[in-house]
């Protein structure tokens, strides 16, 4: 919803990029329920039925599967060709992109079971993108751009492996843009993710019924989140890659802005109005109506700073008038924060708001691997626009550290590194028992209590944190 590059928001640029290749009545946006109204304002040309709001985040495979089922069943077009596009990309030449989309469609028409993706020719050994290894060239690329069979997909590499990929000349960055028939991706999900597809089919079967919203919420929450790369692409055999003829970049995180926009002599990247004093290596993004002032800030990401003008009353010595104090004082910030109830198998996640002082359960996340866990939390931080994580510490009743609290501290450090969002710690010694008491009082079955316990514990911990004045720990010491 931000205008990071150019005057239009990223979602608006994504829609405009399609031109006449896909008319508005044939477009669909799948987003979070909280963003449906914002998307409608940004894309007024779309019918209301074309903006789908997920009740919770379940990664890209369920998102894409839901869209494919809606195309196949609700729109009664099972052989309809889909182009799947993330909304955080920058493509400077939309007309070249449109020609490439037509080429992808032609490749699918030539072989309906084929999946087509776009590979970006790497310009440096990037560790932040997945890679696609190409095989032999297609005898008929169906267009002007080079096209190849795909040998395999590779996860985000370390620096040495990325350098090898670049030197070989056989690897592309994975753009995450796909083209396929709805029936093709549904067949792939039926083979690789049958439980996910079964939940999605129940949702779509009830889509236009009075029970539709309730079924959507219940069935979608029961799905285990998984990316489309992990669910399908890493196992698919009939995949072609078009060497993208268009300029491309992925603005999936704040760290991508310096790469795209450059930096000044102090290493700062600025979007909007900014006055910096002794500020280095910092990314600042604000609206044209607000001036952001930073003093003594290094290696930070800064949105908009809201200051309480009444309590400051122009007093230069007042904490409220001191930019450094305002940055430290959470009561002068507005933003969303994530609460974490740490576990080795499941992690409870809650989302809170500093301004309104409330928190709500988000989901119980089932851990999979370090890479997938990192992708999940980085995506959650970006989509929820989190300014802080609060990790609960399961200390002993006397306040001393436990083995679990030490593990939670290590997890908090990892979480900050993976998401680029600062982490605080807060006492949660009673939250799980409180959550269990609440769920037992609700007369839920044991299975349903277990499904809700961790996220509820995270909500209770985050609510206590907010009620304390948002005062947590940032140091590695123990809670007394």
Query: 446: how many CB neighbours lie within 10 A of its CB?
Result: 9
CA distance 338 to 362: 9
* DSSP symbols for 162-212: HHHHHHHS-EEEEEEEEEEEHHHHHHHHHHH-HHHHHHHHHHHHTTTSTTH
pLDDT of residue 313: 31
| Residue 66, H or E segment | helix 60-69
Q: How far out from the chain centre does Cα 387 lie? A: 14
pLDDT of residue 126: 86
pLDDT of residue 431: 53
Is residue 259 classed exposed, middle or buried when 0-12, 13-18 and 19+ CB atoms within 10 A define those classes? Answer: middle
pLDDT of residue 474: 56
**Residue entry with tokens 């919803």:** 1
The residues, any chain, with a CB within 8 Å of residue 39's CB and separated by 6 or more, are 11, 29, 31, 46, 51
Domains, the chain, with CATH or none: 10-250 (3.90.550.10), 256-332 (no CATH), 336-467 (3.30.420.140)
**Residue entry with tokens 């999605």:** 200
CA distance 360 to 455: 8
- The pTM of the full predicted model, rounded to 2 decimals, is 0.63
CA distance 21 to 477: 58
Q: Do the Cβ atoms of 204 and 73 come closer than 8 Å?
A: yes
pLDDT of residue 82: 97
Among residues 39, 366, 405, 42, the alpha carbon closest in space to that of 225 is found at: 366
pLDDT tens, position by position, for the chain (480 residues)? 777 777 788 899 999 999 999 999 999 999 999 899 999 999 999 999 999 999 998 889 999 999 999 999 888 899 999 999 999 888 989 999 999 999 999 999 999 999 999 999 999 898 888 899 999 999 999 999 999 999 999 888 888 999 999 999 999 999 999 999 999 999 999 999 999 999 999 999 999 999 999 999 999 999 988 889 889 998 999 999 999 999 888 876 666 777 777 888 888 988 888 888 888 888 888 777 778 888 888 877 787 544 333 333 333 222 333 333 333 333 334 578 999 999 999 999 999 888 767 788 888 899 999 999 999 999 999 888 899 999 998 876 666 777 888 899 999 999 999 999 999 998 876 555 554 554 455 454 555 545 566 778 888 888 888 877 765 555 444 333
Q: How many residues comprise the chain? A: 480
The DSSP letter of residue 280 is: B
CA distance 66 to 216: 10
CA distance 382 to 371: 17
**Residue entry with tokens 């809700």:** 452
């Amino acid at each position: 919803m931000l205008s990071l590059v150019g005057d239009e928001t990223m979602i608006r640029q994504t829609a405009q990029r399609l031109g006449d290749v896909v008319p508005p009545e044939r477009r669909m946006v799948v987003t979070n329920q909280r963003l449906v109204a914002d998307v409608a304002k940004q894309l007024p040309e779309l019918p209301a039925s074309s903006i789908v709001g997920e009740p919770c985040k379940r990664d890209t495979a369920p998102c894409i599967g839901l869209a494919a089922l809606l195309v196949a069943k609700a729109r009664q077009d099972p052989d309809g060709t889909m182009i799947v596009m993330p909304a955080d990309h920058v493509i400077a030449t939309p007309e070249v992109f449109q020609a490439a989309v037509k080429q992808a469609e032609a490749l699918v028409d030539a072989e309906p079971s084929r999946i087509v993706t776009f590979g970006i020719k790497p310009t440096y050994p990037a560790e932040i993108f997945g890679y696609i290894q190409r095989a032999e060239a297609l005898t008929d690329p169906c267009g002007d751009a080079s096209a190849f069979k795909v040998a395999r997909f590779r996860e985000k590499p370390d620096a040495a492996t990325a350098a090898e990929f670049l030197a070989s000349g056989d690897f592309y960055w994975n753009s995450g843009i796909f083209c396929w028939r709805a029936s093709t991706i549904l067949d792939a999900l039926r083979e690789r993710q049958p439980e996910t597809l079964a939940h999605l089919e129940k949702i779509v079967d009830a889509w236009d019924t009075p029970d539709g919203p309730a079924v959507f919420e219940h069935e979608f929450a029961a799905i285990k989140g998984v990316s489309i790369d992990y669910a399908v692409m890493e196992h698919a055999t009939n995949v072609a890659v078009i060497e993208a003829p268009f300029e491309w970049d992925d603005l999936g995180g704040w760290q991508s802005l310096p790469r795209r926009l450059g930096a000044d002599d102090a290493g700062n990247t600025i979007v909007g109005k900014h006055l910096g004093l002794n500020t280095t290596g910092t990314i600042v993004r604000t609206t044209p109506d607000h001036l952001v002032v930073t003093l003594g800030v290094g290696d930070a990401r800064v949105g908009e700073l809201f200051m309480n003008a009444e309590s400051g009353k122009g007093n230069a010595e007042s904490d409220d008038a001191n930019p450094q104090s305002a940055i430290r004082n959470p009561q002068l910030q507005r933003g969303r924060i994530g609460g974490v109830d740490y576990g080795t198998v499941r992690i409870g996640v809650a989302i809170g708001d500093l301004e309104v002082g409330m928190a709500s359960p988000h989901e119980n996340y089932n851990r999979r691997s370090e890479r997938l866990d990192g992708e999940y939390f980085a995506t959650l931080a970006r989509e929820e626009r989190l300014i802080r994580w609060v990790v609960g510490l399961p200390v002993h009743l006397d306040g001393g550290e436990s083995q679990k609290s030490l593990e939670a501290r290590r997890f908090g450090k990892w979480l900050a590194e993976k998401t680029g969002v600062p982490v605080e710690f807060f006492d949660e010694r009673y939250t799980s028992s409180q959550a269990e008491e609440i769920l037992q009082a609700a007369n839920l079955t044991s299975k349903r209590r277990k499904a809700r316990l961790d996220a509820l514990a995270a909500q209770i911990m985050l609510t206590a944190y907010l009620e304390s004045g948002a005062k947590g720990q940032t140091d590695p010491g123990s809670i007394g």
